[in-house]
Structure 1
């Protein structure tokens, strides 16, 4: 029999289920702890989700079980969850449109946490109040190390990218991917062609540094850091700041101080779990706050 707990979150009634289910077996981290984390991190996380169509990775039987991506809001989604209907070019399910949820408030975040939506992914653009897609407001570089390279090498590349971006008058903000790599986010107000700019800069970095590649082909990547500029395609999403990741432990995609990036000499130094991140936000606030200013 499924355990059900009825709660009220900011005036919305929700039914939470299977709170004792262990979703991260290596850490004995339960669904209740997932919901608790997302509730406690909400003040930092929600500004980065507001207005952005949602894609989630759901793990109903935990990180060791099968998962699925979900873009379309489930049929049982409460009517108070904001949804926007957008074109779906290239949909794997041959849909012409998708009804995306938009996580604008805590009840919606808790609703998805209860669905074991461990990973939260969003695009670099938002929708207006009427649901109309807006130009990108963020540019992202996804730094992916090809073994034996690690996040230590990603940090080296991130520092170089930061300097190149600063030369172009752009500020950048680093975060871990919550897995083996990291991302740089750049506030953007220079028009719709983020991909063109990002690709040109990635290619320039490749030309200047032999340990960098801007080419996606696996054969080009061993021992190098791949600068994935293609995440700026409007159809693509990137894991959100403060999102959990599905791994052995409840690691989080964590905003970083540049001093941490510059000082990184071991991959273990930049691994942060949910409890770590709550402590970091209590100490530093939201290091990505300038992106939502």
Structure 2
């Protein structure tokens, strides 16, 4: 299944994408696509539906993030060897873990706002894991049993805030609008082998990132198992798993960063495409 949330920001309704590419309204079945709706029991209930009986959503509504009320937004850094090399950092021997503020989560095609004072806002196409079952001390060979599905994520990052302002990476990762997610949550049965998905990103129409999940240093099973040693993962938690080379920070001879008016387009096989326009910071 391809599950989604649609409608104005803050007023999203649950839905799914049918085989014809039409949005079907799920609001008569579930109140929202939160952690409770994407447990194994919740997904089984949705899978049993007669999709043709669900109301069709007319027009082209805005997509929101496909998971509501995300409890934890966890990230894995430097998870592609060639990205670690372009960043000038050693290849990790254990997953590098940081968090993105849940307040940065937004729809896949919403504008990305360059933070006040930013000089080094950057892009990162990433595979996201959505947890579907409470996970504590999970063995690697059982880890996929705890996954509801996968999402496309742009791990937007401010490199000066991340690496030059002291402390941890988190302050450069959670700025408002820095977490576009979606368009869909694709259940793991529909994705198949998650370690064989092509991924790409373009800035202003130019392809800058090309990669594949088969070159991740730590695969999905390893990441879920590893994180469950240090924290309990809950249904609805999202883990973003690292980016292939081609980020602005790694451009030679001079790094390239985003500015107002720039556009990004990105995608991962089977998980859809996002498109964003960068805008200048404004007080709200």
Q: Higher strand fraction: Structure 1 or Structure 2?
A: 2
Indicate the structure with greater helix content.
Answer: 1
**Scaled by the length of structure 2, what TM-score is found?**
0.28
- Computing the radius of gyration over CA atoms, which structure comes out larger, 1 or 2? 1
